[in-house]
Copies of this chain bind each other. A is one copy, B any other.
Amino acid sequence: MSVNVENIPAAAEDARLVQRLRAAGLRPTKQRLAIAGLLLDGRHRHVSADSLAREIRDAGMQMAGGTVYNTLNQFTDAGLLRRVTVHNEHSVFDTNTSHHHHFYDAETDRLIDIPADQVLLADLPNAPKGHDIASVDVLIHISSKNG
């Protein structure tokens, strides 16, 4: 009996990612697949260019720093990731691209997702003349209780 490639989870996952990248208009190159494998597995996570580069190295792969940045930007432009503005230190990318908000703990530089329906904006001001509201970001800063 021959082995069907489709039955090998890793290969199946790979094929899925190839399609996902193609659908996003991105050529499925080795390094894009590597990053997609780490980030686009359905889990919701937050990464920085730096933390991702570390993760890639820890996985035994190697990639130029610039490529990590470029790939994150391409994924973001393609809508596969969302850039979250938290502070000015470094960019944070969110694998959860749906509408939601965040808790931010400055002590640990950690972000926690808040489903959009848990934050009810009862009253919003009108956008200034000639402008529309494009998006609303709510960032809730938290600190440990005996802070």
The quantity of this chain's copies bound in the complex is 2
Shortest Cβ distance from A126 into B: residue: B118
Q: Point out the residues of chain B lying under 8 angstroms from A135, CB to CB.
A: 140-141
Please tell me if the beta carbons of B130 and A119 are within 8 angstroms of each other in the complex. no
In the bound assembly, the distance between CA atoms of A54 and B77 in angstroms comes to 33
Q: Point out the residues of chain B lying under 8 angstroms from A127, CB to CB.
A: 103, 140, 142
User: Taking the complex as formed, is A138 at the interface, i.e. its CB lies under 8 A from any CB of chain B?
Assistant: yes
Q: A88-B85, A133-B142, A137-B138 are in contact. Are A121 and B124 (CB under 8 A)?
A: no
Q: A88-B85, A88-B90 are in contact. Are A140 and B133 (CB under 8 A)?
A: yes
User: Taking the complex as formed, is A145 at the interface, i.e. its CB lies under 8 A from any CB of chain B?
Assistant: yes
